[in-house]
């Protein structure tokens, strides 16, 4: 369970993964070849353990030279790679590493006739490696599900005919033809057809999403039911799926503070252990004490003190955490951000598109003819509030003449010979028409007020629950920052359960608000947003979280964590899992160090044996790995 010269064990996985992300001509993206390779790798490990155990069993139940030969054979089966790495590292000038410790201890044990103990060290090491490979493979598969989003060939409609091109060759404005069972290759808008999309690889949700003409779709979604035509609004290289693949590629590139500390600790700790073990032999020998007795104690000291459990289990825990979050539609760009999320005490949230839906809805109408008149004119407008009115109206539009947009005020026109005004209260005031307060759109007919319409950006269904969950997790401060008006912002905050509101802010003001929170006692701040105006705040915060489903490219680029579904409820999930990951890391560190210290003290006192040393080394590593597995069940 060692790190094999600074995580050499993971070279198989990392090199393999790196190759997978950069090679497009073979079957490395989405064909399952790597899954098969990983399965073969684990099967070979299992065969190695079974074969070695068979040799060890025969060695135990035989005698004489045959027994010795079988012990050595089983030792070679279990430990040949460890010894080879130790020799290779020595030749390259890297003397003090875990491979050297294990090789030195076990070879010396063989030399003094402790055959069973020497083989046992390598046996349990290989069992630990097998379990670790199984955990890593499972987490990598969670992340690889995203890799299967990669798309090669695309059908486009050109001059009335369907032509097949590579995904990278799709241009903005091309009409992409997507059949049932095919993935959407680029971000775009449906221009013909309706269907349901499977977006579980993007969002972690298994419920299909209904889409029809005019709806936006994101690349990587699987077309479930019907033929659709999508107008490309981005090139493949700029699409959602390409951004995801790049983030996954670098997901493990940033080490957490805990991982960095363990690496530095192992680099200093290992030579100290070697010299300490040498002192345990040399000093008593100079004092005339029994050499073999103290050599055995030194070997116990070497085996027990090997830092394998820490060097392996901590990165493995973070890797499992990142993989588990990816299954839930949350992409984390590095383990350091998981550690920061676990220590976050303040959240700063944008309003529109984060807490609210970012879509206007009609919530109240006064007057019987108000909505009909308003919709008949607003259908000629491009204003978002006007669009909400048109969407709400289910009746037949009245024919309108002389329709005129009144910039900054509203719209006017003639319907059935009557002069109709539809607009803000400022329009009513300008025309000297008295009306009630508290609405967004007012309607007047021939100079007389007939009714009003309230249009609001309503909060998402899960925003209130998400805020409540964050408070229950111990988050001390949740603040909403928005450029919207104070009254609207306070109403949204009240409905969502947010206590602190900062309204009417420009993007630069949002950053200043964040700085002020640091100055008033916040230690670790996470910022959540979705728009291009949120990018500066996301970049400045300790942890930037982008709502990736409809989030802007700038926000996703600046963020450290991307929520692939526009659901604020994913944020407390990420926090809770980050806290669980850190808790498991702390448990592993405390447990491993405590066991090693106890066995080392007993070894110096002559009260422990090689089996206790084996447990202190590979036994603790096994238990630490099994403890790390728990994160995948969260």
- Give residues with Cβ within 8 angstroms of 622, minimum separation 6: 1, 124, 127, 128, 131
Angle at Cα 372 formed by Cα 366 and Cα 377, nearest 5°?
115
Look at residue 88 and give its three-state secondary structure. Answer: helix
CA dist 399 and 446 (Å) reads 17
Residue 414, beta-bridge partner list? 401, 419
Q: How far is CA 426 from CA 169, 371, 381, 483, in A?
A: 50, 19, 18, 21
Q: How far apart are CA 36 and CA 294, in angstroms?
A: 49
d(CA 55, CA 57) in angstroms, rounded, equals 5
Distance CA 552, CA 383 (A): 21
**What are the phi and psi torsion angles at 559 (to 5°)?**
-80, 160
Outline where DSSP puts E strands in 112-194. Answer: 153-158, 161-166, 175-178, 188-192
CB 627 within 8 A of CB 313: yes
Tell me the C-alpha distance between 566 and 204, whole Å: 11
- Cα distances (angstroms) measured from residue 588 to each of 93, 123, 310, 372, 488: 31, 22, 7, 67, 48
> Could you tell me the maximum CA-CA distance found in the chain, to the nearest angstrom?
119
Is residue 350 among the annotated active site residues? yes
| Integer Cα distance of 621 and 588 in angstroms | 9
Q: How far apart are CA 53 and CA 65, in angstroms?
A: 19
Q: Which H helix or E strand runs over 223?
A: strand 222-223
- Alpha carbon distance, N-terminus to C-terminus of the chain: 24
- Nearest alpha carbon to residue 209 among 235, 234, 228: 228
Q: Can you give the C-alpha Rg of the chain in angstroms?
A: 32
Strands (E), 356-508: 356-365, 400-406, 410-415, 418-423, 441-445, 448-459, 477-481, 500-502
**Alpha helices (H) along 361-485:** 370-378, 384-392, 425-430, 463-472
The neighbour count for residue 521, using CB atoms within 10 Å, is: 10
Sign of the Cα torsion 487, 491, 492, 498 reads: positive
Catalytic residue among 174, 350, 566, 617: 350
Q: Measuring CA to CA, how many Å separate 500 from each of 313, 350, 396, 486, 513?
A: 40, 12, 45, 12, 11
d(C-alpha 2, C-alpha 309), whole Å: 7
Contact at 8 Å (CB) between 183 and 221?
A: yes
Catalytic residues: 350
């Amino acid at each position: 369970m060692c790190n094999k010269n600074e995580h050499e064990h993971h070279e198989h996985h990392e090199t393999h993964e790196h190759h997978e992300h950069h090679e497009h001509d073979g079957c490395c993206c989405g064909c399952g070849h790597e899954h098969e390779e990983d399965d073969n790798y684990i099967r070979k490990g299992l065969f190695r353990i079974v074969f070695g155990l068979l040799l060890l069993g025969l060695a135990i139940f035989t005698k004489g030279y045959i027994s010795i030969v079988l012990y050595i054979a089983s030792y070679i089966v279990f430990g040949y790679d460890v010894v080879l790495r130790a020799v290779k590292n020595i030749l390259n000038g890297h003397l003090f590493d875990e491979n050297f410790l294990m090789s030195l201890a076990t070879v010396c044990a063989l030399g003094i006739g402790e055959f069973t103990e020497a083989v046992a060290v390598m046996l349990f090491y290989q069992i630990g490696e097998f379990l670790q490979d199984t955990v890593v493979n499972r987490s990598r598969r969670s992340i690889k599900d995203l890799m299967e989003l990669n798309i090669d060939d695309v059908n486009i409609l050109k001059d009335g005919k369907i032509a097949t091109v590579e995904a990278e060759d799709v241009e903005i404005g091309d009409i992409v033809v997507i059949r049932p069972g095919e993935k959407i290759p680029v971000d775009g808008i449906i221009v013909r057809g309706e269907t349901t999309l499977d977006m579980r690889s993007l969002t972690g949700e298994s419920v299909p999403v209904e889409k029809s003409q005019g709806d936006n779709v994101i690349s990587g979604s699987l077309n479930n039911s019907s033929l659709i035509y999508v107008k490309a609004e981005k090139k493949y290289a700029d699409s959602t799926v390409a951004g995801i693949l790049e983030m996954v590629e670098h997901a493990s590139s940033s080490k957490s503070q805990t991982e960095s500390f363990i690496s530095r600790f192992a680099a200093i700790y290992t030579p100290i252990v070697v010299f300490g073990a040498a002192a345990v032999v040399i000093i008593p020998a100079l004092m005339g004490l029994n050499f073999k007795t103290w050599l055995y104690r030194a070997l116990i000291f070497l085996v027990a003190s090997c830092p394998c459990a820490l060097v392996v289990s901590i990165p493995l825990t973070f890797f499992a955490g990142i993989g588990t979050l990816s299954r839930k539609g949350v992409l984390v760009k590095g383990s350091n951000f998981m550690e920061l999320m676990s220590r976050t005490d303040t959240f700063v949230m944008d309003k529109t598109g984060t807490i609210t839906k970012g879509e206007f809805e009609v919530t109240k109408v006064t007057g019987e003819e108000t909505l009909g008149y308003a919709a008949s004119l607003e259908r000629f407008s491009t204003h978002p509030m006007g669009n909400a009115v048109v969407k709400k109206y289910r009746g037949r539009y009245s024919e309108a003449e002389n329709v005129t947009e009144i910039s900054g005020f509203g719209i006017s026109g003639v319907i059935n010979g009557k002069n109709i005004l539809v607009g803000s209260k400022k329009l009513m005031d300008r025309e000297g028409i008295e009306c009630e307060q508290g609405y967004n759109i007012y309607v007047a007919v021939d100079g007389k007020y007939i009714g009003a319409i309230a249009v609001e950006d309503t909060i998402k269904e899960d925003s209130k629950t998400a805020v409540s969950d964050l408070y229950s997790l111990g988050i001390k401060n949740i603040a909403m920052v928005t450029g919207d008006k104070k009254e609207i912002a306070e109403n949204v905050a009240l409905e969502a359960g947010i206590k602190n509101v900062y309204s009417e802010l420009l993007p630069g003001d949002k950053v200043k608000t964040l700085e002020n929170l640091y100055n008033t006692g916040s230690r670790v701040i996470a910022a959540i947003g979705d728009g291009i105006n949120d990018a500066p705040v996301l970049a400045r915060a300790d942890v930037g979280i982008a709502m990736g489903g409809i989030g802007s490219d700038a926000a996703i680029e600046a963020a450290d964590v991307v929520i692939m579904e526009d659901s604020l409820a994913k944020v407390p999930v990420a926090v809770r899992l980050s806290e669980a990951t850190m808790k498991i890391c702390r448990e592993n560190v405390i447990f491993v160090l405590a066991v090693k210290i106890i066995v080392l003290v007993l070894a110096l006192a002559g009260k422990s044996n090689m089996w206790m040393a084996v447990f202190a080394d590979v036994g603790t590593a096994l238990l630490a790995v099994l403890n790390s597995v728990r994160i995948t069940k969260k």
